[in-house]
Amino acid sequence: MPKDQRKVHRDSQDGHRQRLRDRFLMSGLSGFHDYEIVELLLTLTQPYRDMKGQGKEAIERFGSLRGVLEAPVDELRRIKGIGPVNSLGIKIVQEVAREFLKQGLMNKPVLNSAQAIFDYLYHSMRDLRYEVFKVLYLNSQNEILDTEDLFEGTVDSSVVWTREVVSNALKRSATGLIFVHNHPSGNPEPSDSDKDVTRDLVYAGRIMQIKVLDHIVIGDNRYFSFAGAGLIEQFEVDFLTLKMKGLTRSPRQAFERGSSGQGVPWS
């Protein structure tokens, strides 16, 4: 390409990149196509190169902006023009977004932060290829003290150790718990194992005077709430019925003897 034509082409690229940035500064990402958002991200680490083609190819390969952000680094680097610096930049943006959502939850009552909680949970768990069991620890005002990924498994199952859940809650002086896990299949409908482990956690919580507020199953653009379905309340009623029949031990004795230390599979 002759020198004059290269200059015209470079000026055109510079103008295109600047127009993208100006649009973002004026109205955020409103009106942007997914590939334009990816292109904008890529230009941060490649300020003098046209990245429109790479943006479009990334969306075609991974299906959506969400897919690009969740894509493994080695998969991103298979796109010509996306190198280690570009892919690192994309992963940093993803993790910063997760941390931003997480920090927005801390020290806020969960009843006043339901949407923020779901936004954080969905963003952090929706595309995982394996199951993760997360615990949200709450204080007496139902404010979130901490969050923890406590158990990990395959796409089929994992093991939730009730004793470990209760022990970690006691270490944090938590008085309330919310459990969350994901279904990589995308279907949030709880399995029988999900119900069994939730029941056991509610029972153990009642013995140790720790309130289980909910167990949320994250699927693809959907979720299932045990509390919303009335199951948490039902498990509490069942526990009280057993207690009235004299089938429960004293609180500390039950915990110390490990009666709630049984591992329960969930999927």
Query: Are residue 121 and residue 200 in the same domain, yes or no?
Result: yes
Q: What is the largest CA-CA distance in the chain?
A: 91
Specify the pLDDT at position 190: 92
Query: Are residue 228 and residue 126 in the same domain, yes or no?
Result: yes
Query: Are residue 177 and residue 243 in the same domain, yes or no?
Result: yes
Q: DSSP per residue over 152-173, as a string?
A: E--SS-EEEEHHHHHHHHHHTT
Query: Are residue 93 and residue 158 in the same domain, yes or no?
Result: no
Q: DSSP per residue over 184-233, as a string?
A: TTS--PPPHHHHHHHHHHHHHHHHTT-EEEEEEEE-SS-EEETTTTTHHH
Assess if residue 104 is contained within a domain: no
Assess if residue 178 is contained within a domain: yes
Specify the pLDDT at position 112: 54
Specify the pLDDT at position 9: 46
Query: Are residue 119 and residue 223 in the same domain, yes or no?
Result: yes
Specify the pLDDT at position 111: 60
Assess if residue 145 is contained within a domain: yes
* Mean pLDDT split into 10-residue runs, the chain, 267 residues: 49 67 83 88 78 90 85 89 87 80 68 64 74 91 88 64 91 94 89 91 94 90 88 94 71 50 46
Query: Are residue 63 and residue 136 in the same domain, yes or no?
Result: no
Could you report the per-residue pLDDT of 133-162, keeping only the tens digit for each?
A: 999 999 998 888 888 888 887 544 457 788
CATH number at residue 191: 3.40.140.10
Specify the pLDDT at position 177: 95
Domain count, the chain: 2
Query: Are residue 153 and residue 254 in the same domain, yes or no?
Result: yes
- For residue 83, give its domain range: 3-99
Q: What is the distance between the alpha carbons of residues 229 and 94, in angstroms, rounded to a whole number?
A: 32
Q: What are 19's two structure tokens? A: 């127009």
Assess if residue 42 is contained within a domain: yes
Assess if residue 105 is contained within a domain: no
Query: Are residue 233 and residue 157 in the same domain, yes or no?
Result: yes
Instruction: Look up tokens 């809650």; give the residue.
Output: 169
Specify the pLDDT at position 89: 86
Instruction: Judge whether 237 and 199 are in contact, CB under 8 Å.
Output: no
Query: Are residue 86 and residue 195 in the same domain, yes or no?
Result: no
Q: What is the distance between the alpha carbons of residues 241 and 251, in angstroms, rounded to a whole number?
A: 16
